[in-house]
Amino acid sequence: MFENPKEVLNPLPEKKRRVTAAAAVSAAAVKTDMHSEQLSVLAQKNCPLKSFKVDQDAIRRIDRNTLCEILDGQHCNLYDRYVIVDCRFEYEYEGGHIAGAVNINTKERLQEALIANSPATAGERTLLVFHCEYSAHRGPRMAMQLRQLDREANMERYPLLHYPDIVILDGGYSQFFAGHAARCFPQQYVAMKDNADACEREMDRFRRTMKTKKRKAVGRSKTFTFGSTAPAVDAFVVSPVAVTRSRSALFSQPLKTKRSLNVSSELDDEVAKALAEEAENDDGSFDFETTPPKQPMFERRRLTGFPKLSQCSLF
């Protein structure tokens, strides 16, 4: 039952578990599968694809020259395919876009085009390049939205992702068109503010699409159990913390909006109903008998046993 003090001070070394060759091969296969399926190429050291980080979000950026290298196939050994996602509005996209880019500017379109049509082949690497006019608002928002949808779709097999490599074109279409207009089709540049009516309409729709639901603040009546609702009596709400209290007359009787008669509580129900009927039939003027004013609390009294001053005789 009791151990030797020497054994406590110098415990025996545990026996090393023997790892079989089959277990080692299986672990290596799982590690290779996870490496080929979810690890980002951009996060690896000495990656030939140049990218950089920014302080605004966690999505990496590439410049227009790096995008030209991707279009020319210089990084085909890193990725099986690439997709350029143009997040601008339709009239901007139709006015001129990067050759081969697809127009996706809503959350629903992201779900249909990329998440529902995710790579079916395990280990297939896809590079997504997001951009808008300047890659300042719409492009980053759509990229972050796709990452969130990708996490939700792969929740059961975290940390695996369909698209681990997502980048944003720094400067957007404006800078790319300024340096490589020949790679755009058609070779034009339509700004967002060129069509004021469509810009306002599409921007409102974009804000509604990307708007996240805010959680309502918890009031004092819901602090003990969040989400519970208390029963309401007409315009008053019963606090859930006071369910054990006795119900008062205010909650036991329905509220009335009629003009009150100020009847004493000692009268019975029949007298109260009679007064209420008389008040309804009356023209609005009440002629109740007024009560006499109350006597003062301390009343001055003349002392008895002493004659009045007029009855006193002068000596």
Domains in the chain with CATH codes: 36-210 (3.40.250.10)
Q: Which of 42, 34, 119, 117 has its CA nearest to residue 75?
A: 42
Active site residue 132: yes
pLDDT at 137: 94
Count CA within 13 A, CB hemisphere, residue 277. Answer: 5
Average pLDDT over residues 139-150: 95
Q: Answer yes or no: is pLDDT of 157 > 50.
A: yes
CA nearest neighbour of 32 among 102, 95, 122, 118: 122
Average pLDDT for residues 121-125, to the nearest whole number? Answer: 74
Mean residue pLDDT across the chain: 74
Q: What confidence score (pLDDT) does residue 300 get?
A: 55
Alpha carbon distance 54, 81 (integer Å): 25
User: Which residue would you say has higher pLDDT here, 71 or 219?
Assistant: 71
Could you say which DSSP state residue 242 is in?
Answer: G
Of 30 and 42, the one with more pLDDT: 42
What pLDDT is attached to residue 83?
96
End-to-end CA distance of the chain: 123
pLDDT at residue 213 tops 60: no
* Mean pLDDT of the 296-312 span: 57
Amino acid symbol at 129: V
In degrees rounded to 5, what are phi and psi of residue 128?
Answer: -105, 130
- Of the candidates 47, 68, 132, 312, the residue annotated as catalytic is 132
Helix and strand numbers (H, E) in the chain are 10, 9
| Ramachandran class of 272: left when φ > 0, alpha when ψ lies in -120 to 50, beta otherwise | alpha
Per-residue pLDDT, averaged over 93-105, amounts to: 96
At residue 225, does pLDDT exceed 50? no
Q: Which of 6-10, 131-135, 254-258 has the highest mean pLDDT?
A: 131-135
Q: Mean per-residue pLDDT for 177-181?
A: 96
- Does the pLDDT of residue 94 top 50, yes or no? yes
Average pLDDT of the segment spanning 129-141? 96
pLDDT at 262 over 60: no
Cα-based distances in Å from 281 to 258, 259, 267, 273: 13, 13, 21, 13
Q: Which residue has the higher pLDDT, 290 or 276?
A: 276
- Separation of alpha carbons 111 and 105, rounded Å: 11
User: What distance in Å separates the CA atoms of residue 87 and residue 172, rounded to the nearest whole number?
Assistant: 10
The predicted model gives 294-298 an average pLDDT of 58
Per-residue pLDDT band at 313 (split at 50, 70, 90): low
pLDDT in the model for residue 26: 40
Could you tell me which residues come within 8 angstroms of residue 256 by beta carbon, excluding any fewer than 6 positions away? none
126-131 and 165-169 as β-strands: parallel, antiparallel, unpaired? parallel
**For 43-92, what is each residue's pLDDT tens digit?**
888 899 999 999 989 999 999 999 999 999 999 999 999 999 999 999 99
pLDDT > 50? residue 194: yes
Pairs from 23-30 (Cβ < 8 Å, separation ≥ 24)? none
Phi, psi of 83 (to 5 degrees): -130, 125
Nearest to 171 by CA among 131, 199, 138: 131
| pLDDT exceeds 50 at position 159 | yes
Confidence of residue 260 (pLDDT cuts 50, 70, 90): very low
In angstroms, rounded to a whole number, what is the distance separating the alpha carbons of residues 94 and 267? Answer: 83
The tally of CA atoms less than 13 A away on the side-chain side of residue 76 is 4
Cβ within 8 Å of residue 169, ≥6 positions away = 61, 62, 63, 64, 67, 129, 130, 131, 135, 139, 176
Q: Determine the Cα–Cα distance for residues 192 and 95; give it in Å rounded to an integer.
A: 10
